[in-house]
Amino acid sequence: MNIAIVGAGATGLSAALDLRAAGHDVTIFEASDRPGGLAAGFKEPHWDWHLEKFYHHWFQSDSDLLRIADEIGVRDKVIFRSPRTVGYYKGAFYPVFSPVDALLFPGVPLLAKVPWGLSAIYLRLTSNWRAFEQTTAHEWCSKWMGAPAYKGLVQPMLDGKFGSYARQVNMAWMWARVKARSFSLGTFEGGFQQFFYELANHVTKRGTNIRYGVRVRSIAEERATDTGSRVSVEFGSDRAVFDQVLVTTSPALMTQLAPTLPEAYLSKLNQLKSLGAIVAIYALDRPLGVKRDYYWYNMPKIAGFPFLCLCEHTNFAKPENFGGDHIVYCGDYLPVDHATMNLSDADVTQLYATAFRRINPDFEPTWIRKTWVFRERYAQPVPLLNHSQNIPPTRTPIDGLHFASMSHVYPWDRGTNYALQLGRSVARDMMTA
């Protein structure tokens, strides 16, 4: 078959890997100048590594990612370390990454942690996620983990991450976080961008054509021809017809690219809820945090922090990889019409830096060498009750047209591993269509 893929992110590249291996002709259209999608990065002249625009890490349980790394010969470049996550309580930060850390966290009385711990064990052991999507995380956790643990450990995360949707997110989302994640975190030598360069180079060497800087304008059903081609793709000023097409964009963009899809399918796409993301990145001339092993700071908005989390990246990937710069991410998930999403870059970095003295009282703005701000409209799907019934199938009603987005990795939360898994799954479906 002659196949087109829209998007050279994890899903598009992993689908191309298997489709090309099966002998199909594959062309990928990528609007940007590089592969990687939301995991793409950038690089300053004095850095050895790329830096992700949006913070990313892997888990030791990410079996699909590790399998592909083995297949393309780069498994030795996957790095796992165990930096610490910390939570906030009464003006200070305390480790909450490991079970021992959680037991010692002063924000929840020791006895109140017993139902929390038993609930976590239960979530790790059970695989019946469909039962969890029938209740909200708020209801389940407040009932079974107990009010103190819920208010001290769970509610700040739900409120910070989902905002007005916090009481509506289903428990399957929480189950997936507890079920699959490891205590060690992973990155790639050279950064995630380097991993996607390796994967893209692998598929191109085997015959896939990746066309960077080419934006697809529309996709439509084509009347069958002698060659069997049936899906037309308009890109730039050109047009081509393919046997099958896989689109890996956001649901909103899919509705724009393929407006001739049946109304019922378009309606499902339009009903999917999601949040945007905004990230401010700071290159400092010294570490921000006093503790050099503190990597991820949960920043509860109820305590007055202006964003959801702070990640001191160079407490995980060493500053030597970035020319001695100490890299700090400040990130938040927000509705696309939120006021902060529409601030200037300078105003965002100034606003977020107001929290730095609560991490290190000695912080001075003169420590900042350079800043960057990145925004994304489609960053965090919001899974509501019985969410599996709301997700449209990857095989669309247009014969030969397939759609695979971050929303399709449910019940798992968005992540590179599940995007790679999704691409391979859809590729199998395309080859049996």
DSSP string for residues in 240-270? EEESEEEE-S-HHHHHHH-TTS-HHHHHHHH
Rounded distance between C-alpha atoms, residue 433 and residue 429, angstroms: 6
Share of the chain above pLDDT 70, in %: 99
pLDDT (0 to 100) of residue 1: 94
46-101 pLDDT per residue, tens: 999 999 999 999 999 999 999 999 999 999 999 999 888 999 999 999 998 777 88
pTM: 0.94
What is the mean pLDDT of the segment spanning 121-140? 95
CB neighbourhood size of 176 (10 A): 21
Question: In this structure, are residues 323 and 317 in contact, taking their beta carbons and an 8 Å threshold?
Answer: no
pLDDT (0 to 100) of residue 227: 59
Q: How confident is the model at residue 329 (pLDDT cuts 50, 70, 90)?
A: very high
Does 153 have pLDDT greater than 90?
no
Burial of 203 (0-12, 13-18, 19+ CB in 10 A): buried
Angle at 229 between CA 225 and CA 232, to 5 degrees: 110
Question: In this structure, are residues 248 and 38 in contact, taking their beta carbons and an 8 Å threshold?
Answer: no
Rounded distance between C-alpha atoms, residue 310 and residue 299, angstroms: 7
Rounded distance between C-alpha atoms, residue 407 and residue 391, angstroms: 7
* Residue-by-residue DSSP string for 379-429: EEEE--TTGGGTSPPSB-SSTTEEE--GGGGTTSPS-HHHHHHHHHHHHHH
pLDDT (0 to 100) of residue 338: 95
What is the mean pLDDT of the segment spanning 180-196? 93
User: Residue 378: helix, strand or coil by DSSP?
Assistant: strand
161-175 pLDDT per residue, tens: 999 999 999 999 999
Instruction: For the chain, state the CA radius of gyration.
Output: 22
Question: In this structure, are residues 378 and 406 in contact, taking their beta carbons and an 8 Å threshold?
Answer: yes
What does the longest C-alpha to C-alpha distance in the chain come to?
72
pLDDT (0 to 100) of residue 226: 62
What is the mean pLDDT of the segment spanning 294-313? 94
Q: How confident is the model at residue 222 (pLDDT cuts 50, 70, 90)?
A: confident
230-255 pLDDT per residue, tens: 999 999 889 999 999 999 999 999 99
pLDDT (0 to 100) of residue 48: 98
User: Residue 179: helix, strand or coil by DSSP?
Assistant: helix
Question: Element (H or E) spanning 297, and its range?
Answer: strand 294-298
Q: How confident is the model at residue 341 (pLDDT cuts 50, 70, 90)?
A: very high
Which of 143, 173, 134 is CA-nearest to residue 157? 173
Does 223 have pLDDT greater than 80?
no
Does 157 have pLDDT greater than 80?
yes
Does 357 have pLDDT greater than 90?
yes
pLDDT (0 to 100) of residue 228: 59
Domains delineated in the chain: 2-39+62-68+191-272+393-432 (3.50.50.60), 98-180 (no CATH)
Share of the chain above pLDDT 90, in %: 86
| Average pLDDT of the residues of the chain | 94
What is the mean pLDDT of the segment spanning 94-117? 87
Q: Which residues contact 156 (CB under 8 A, 6 or more apart)?
A: 87, 88, 298, 300, 301, 302
Rounded distance between C-alpha atoms, residue 372 and residue 377, angstroms: 17
Angle at 254 between CA 31 and CA 259, to 5 degrees: 120
Does 156 have pLDDT greater than 70?
yes
Question: In this structure, are residues 195 and 203 in contact, taking their beta carbons and an 8 Å threshold?
Answer: no
Counted residue by residue, the chain has a size of 433
Q: Which residues on neighbouring strands pair with residue 372, listed in sequence order?
A: 281
What is the mean pLDDT of the segment spanning 199-212? 97
Rounded distance between C-alpha atoms, residue 51 and residue 280, angstroms: 13
Burial 49-70 (b: 16+ CB within 10 A, else e): bbbbbbbbbbbeebebbbebbe
CA dihedral angle for residue 373, residue 10, residue 202, residue 61, rounded to 10 degrees: 110
Question: In this structure, are residues 161 and 308 in contact, taking their beta carbons and an 8 Å threshold?
Answer: yes
pLDDT (0 to 100) of residue 229: 64
- Token pair 């049946």 is found at 262
Question: Element (H or E) spanning 275, and its range?
Answer: strand 273-284
